[in-house]
């Protein structure tokens, strides 16, 4: 069985664009075509792109909305009606993309200096993030307590006003940001920033099961102790008393006090726990992406055939 698909060119950094996972998809019977009219299934990663396809082809094609971005599609349902057409939806919220914390763990290794033998700590926290996405959680269709962008923004500003946090990124109020990293090979530019610090505020954008982005892995790789807030499944890999968990601290004052009070010994012990997790997870990242690709291939073939595939949960996905 096979299926021909056209992937919208704006779907960068997805399993449909990366060479490794494209090979996995091809191996499972997915044929990539470069003209949408030749494809039986059209693939986009948010409603706007799917609507473009539907406006052009109506009921003559089948449609898949696939995204690993928590804000691009927030419904937990596996089907949606967009512009009058039934669309298959696979997202973080439907539990059909991530099955573990490792998807982003195979980061660009780069050249970094972890400064393992610290005798004193740089207690200024660093955050590398854009401010452009901050705002009302209702804007993203997420329930209260799931979206973390507003909390991250408020905490960063509180640390900045205390003189205890440096911010790098775009769209912050004038004079707040010290620079940006989103240029050229942006991950390597980010590494250069992180290398100068010992603590990295690296919250996720939202609390979604197994949404563990590159942020925490990059922090550890560069020698920083992560200050993290994410979904509870993170503790399937990390031990307690490894990263600083904002969920247990609960306020800006408590967080920055903890940074100021931490001994070099405690820092080293926490960081070594994080580093051991990263070293185990790094080779698993590609395997996690391969699982997502295999599952997507099965769903694409089923969609093309007009049937519902039997694998409908992340638990079943992990066994493929």
Express as a percent the part of the chain with pLDDT over 90.
76
DSSP designation for 144: T
Per-residue pLDDT tens for 226-254? 999 988 999 999 999 999 999 999 999 99
Per-residue pLDDT tens for 132-155? 654 444 455 555 558 888 899 999
Q: What is the mean pLDDT of the chain?
A: 89
Answer yes or no: are the C-beta atoms of 55 and 20 closer than 8 Å.
no
Q: b/e map of 31-64 (b: 16 or more CB within 10 Å)?
A: eeeeebeebbbbbbbbbebbbbbbeebeeebbbb
Would the CATH topology of 3-100+285-317 be identical to that of 125-283?
Answer: yes
* Residue 316 confidence class, pLDDT cut points 50, 70, 90: very low
The ranges assigned to domains in the chain are 3-100+285-317, 125-283
User: Rounded mean pLDDT of 256-263?
Assistant: 97
The values of phi and psi at residue 39, to 5°, are: -90, 150
* Residue 86 confidence class, pLDDT cut points 50, 70, 90: very high
Answer yes or no: are the C-beta atoms of 295 and 318 closer than 8 Å.
no
Per-residue pLDDT tens for 91-111? 999 999 999 999 999 998 877
* Residue 51 confidence class, pLDDT cut points 50, 70, 90: very high
Rounded to a whole number, what is the largest CA-CA distance in the chain? 66
Cβ burial of 143 (10 Å; 0-12, 13-18, 19+) is exposed
User: Rounded mean pLDDT of 52-76?
Assistant: 95
* Residue 213 confidence class, pLDDT cut points 50, 70, 90: very high
User: What pLDDT, on a 0 to 100 scale, did the predictor assign at position 142?
Assistant: 58
Rounding to the nearest 10 degrees, give the CA dihedral for residues 186, 191, 193, 199.
130
Distance CA 304, CA 40 (A): 7
Query: Is 1.10.10 the CATH classification of the domain at 3-100+285-317?
Result: no
Residues in the chain: 320
Strands 3-7 and 244-245: unpaired
Given the candidates 3.40.50.300, 3.30.70.1520, 1.10.10.60, 3.40.50.11660, the CATH classification of the domain at 125-283 is 3.40.50.11660
User: What pLDDT, on a 0 to 100 scale, did the predictor assign at position 314?
Assistant: 39
Question: What's the Cα-to-Cα distance from 273 to each of 108, 116, 226, 277, rounded to whole Å?
Answer: 21, 13, 11, 7
Question: What's the Cα-to-Cα distance from 81 to each of 50, 176, 303, 311, rounded to whole Å?
Answer: 11, 43, 15, 22
Per-residue pLDDT tens for 155-204? 999 999 999 999 999 889 999 999 876 666 677 889 999 999 999 999 99
CA-based nearest residue to 201, from 232, 144, 160 = 160
Q: b/e map of 297-314 (b: 16 or more CB within 10 Å)?
A: bbbbbbbbeeeebebeeb
pLDDT tops 50 at residue 13 = yes
CA-based nearest residue to 128, from 72, 69, 197, 174 = 197
User: What pLDDT, on a 0 to 100 scale, did the predictor assign at position 226?
Assistant: 98
Per-residue pLDDT tens for 286-313? 999 999 999 999 999 999 998 765 444 4
User: What pLDDT, on a 0 to 100 scale, did the predictor assign at position 147?
Assistant: 83
């Amino acid at each position: 069985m096979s299926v021909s698909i056209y992937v919208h060119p704006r779907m960068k950094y997805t399993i449909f664009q990366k060479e490794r996972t494209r090979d996995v998809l091809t191996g499972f019977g997915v044929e990539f075509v470069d003209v949408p009219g030749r494809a039986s299934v059209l693939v986009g990663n948010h409603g706007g792109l799917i609507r473009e396809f539907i406006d052009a082809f109506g009921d003559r094609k089948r449609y898949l909305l696939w995204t690993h971005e928590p804000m691009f599609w927030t419904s937990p349902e596996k089907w949606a009606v967009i512009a009058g057409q039934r669309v298959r939806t696979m997202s973080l919220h439907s539990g059909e993309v991530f099955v573990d914390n490792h998807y982003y763990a195979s980061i660009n290794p780069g050249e970094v200096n972890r400064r393992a033998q610290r005798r004193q700590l740089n207690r200024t926290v660093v955050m590398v993030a854009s401010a452009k996405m901050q705002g009302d959680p209702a804007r993203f269709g997420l329930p209260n307590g799931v979206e973390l962008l507003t909390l991250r923004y408020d905490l960063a500003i509180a640390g900045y006003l205390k003189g205890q946090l440096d911010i790098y990124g775009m769209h912050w109020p004038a004079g707040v940001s010290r620079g940006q990293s989103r240029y050229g090979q942006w991950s390597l530019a980010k590494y250069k920033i992180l290398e100068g610090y010992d603590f990295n505020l690296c919250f996720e954008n939202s609390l979604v099961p197994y949404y563990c982005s590159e942020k925490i892995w990059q922090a550890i790789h560069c020698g920083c102790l992560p200050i993290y807030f994410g979904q509870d499944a993170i503790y399937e890999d990390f031990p307690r008393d490894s990263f600083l968990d904002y969920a247990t601290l609960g306020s800006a004052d408590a967080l920055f006090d903890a940074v100021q009070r931490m001994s070099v010994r405690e820092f080293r012990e926490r960081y070594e726990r994080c580093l051991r997790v990263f070293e185990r997870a790094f080779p698993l990242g590609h395997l996690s992406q391969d699982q997502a690709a295999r599952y997507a291939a099965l769903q694409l073939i089923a969609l093309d055939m007009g049937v519902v595939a039997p694998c409908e949960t992340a638990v079943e996905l992990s066994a493929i």
